[in-house]
Amino acid sequence: MSRDIRLLSIAELQARYSDGSLTPSETTEACLSRAEEMNPELGAFISIDAQAARAAAQTPRPGPLSGVPLAHKDIFATPDRQPGCGVVRGALPCPPLPPSPLLARMEAAGAIDLGPLNMAGFALGTTGANALVGDARNPWDPAFCTGASSSGSAVAVAAGLAFGSIGTDSGASVRVPAALCGIVGYMPEHGALDGTGCFPLSWSADRPGVLARDPSAAVRARRHGGCQYAVRHPRRDGAAGGRPARGGLEGRAAPRRSRTASAAVGAQDGGGPRVAAVRAAHCSN
């Protein structure tokens, strides 16, 4: 039995394109068919841009993501659409955002955009529940938590509705839904993926991220959607952009942070305010 093309890796998909055993139109049609069938139950997409996707698949741009169906969190502006940010199924009534350069780079690399994906309202949420536009449900079991705020971005990839997706992460909003839906969530360093044209939650913490079914696909999307300067922009620790700094929290950083926090508490106590531990009523520990 041949493997379901919707569950191929991006590398496998493009190998099939190269040997002529599969076409971008066939792949896109398979994703659209599955999305139209499953989205009423899963709530992954805010809307499915089937007509535009089919047209793009007929003559895909050559590039490293040529003919790969992707989708994006409904927090990015495109030339044809302003985001609804999980609050409305349409455009928010606010000043328009410029089109996202990140989505433009993905399309320039040959990707086929299937449409905007569900999310927690204004990117504030952790479960995937959304009383405004409908819940995004975990494809492994709709009763399970999906995670958020990039809930639809994780659901679409895990369910085989798209080969990858673009989300945003301010406090694990890519990583949590990816983990709960059994896929890969990659949040690169600040500036690696351009956040222009993305509705802001916290300008100092927001960053776009990639969700995919395997690490190589996530890295490929990051590489070909990234800013040109991010590769050469030095980090404060001296490491080149895109490479992890050595050491991380091992050995030194964790104790240093603990000492710094203790010193801050001591300074507050000495200055008049009293700092005390509190117990939140909704937390078990």
Q: What is the pLDDT of residues 37-70, one digit of tens each?
A: 999 999 999 999 999 999 999 999 999 999 999 9
Instruction: Clarify whether 149 is annotated catalytic.
Output: yes
Is residue 220's pLDDT more than 90?
no
Query: Could you tell me the CA-to-CA distances from 184 to 6, 119, 153 in Å, in that order?
Result: 16, 17, 11
256, with CB counted inside 10 A (0-12, 13-18, 19+), is exposed
Q: Which is the catalytic residue, given 153, 165, 170, 173?
A: 173
The pLDDT-based confidence of 191 (bands split at 50, 70, 90) is confident
Mean pLDDT confidence for 178-202: 92
Percent of the chain with pLDDT over 70: 78
Which two three-digit tokens encode residue 129?
């529940």
Sheet holding 112-117, edge to edge: 112-117, 69-73, 164-169, 207-212, 184-186
Specify whether 33 is catalytic: no
Work out the average pLDDT over 152-167. Answer: 96
- Is the model's pLDDT at 126 over the cut of 80? yes
Q: Where are the domains of the chain?
A: 5-231
Q: For residue 85, is pLDDT > 80? A: yes
Residue that the structure tokens 């991380």 belong to: 248
Residue ranges with strand state E in 9-151: 69-73, 112-117
Task: Indicate if 216 belongs to the active site.
Answer: no
Judge if the upstream peptide bond of residue 284 is cis by omega within 30 degrees of 0: no
Indicate which residue of 100, 149, 151, 153 is catalytic. 149
Question: Tokens 């993501």 label which residue?
Answer: 65
pLDDT over 90, % of the chain? 63
Residue 265 has what pLDDT?
57
* Overall fold of domain 5-231: Amidase signature (AS) enzymes (3.90.1300)
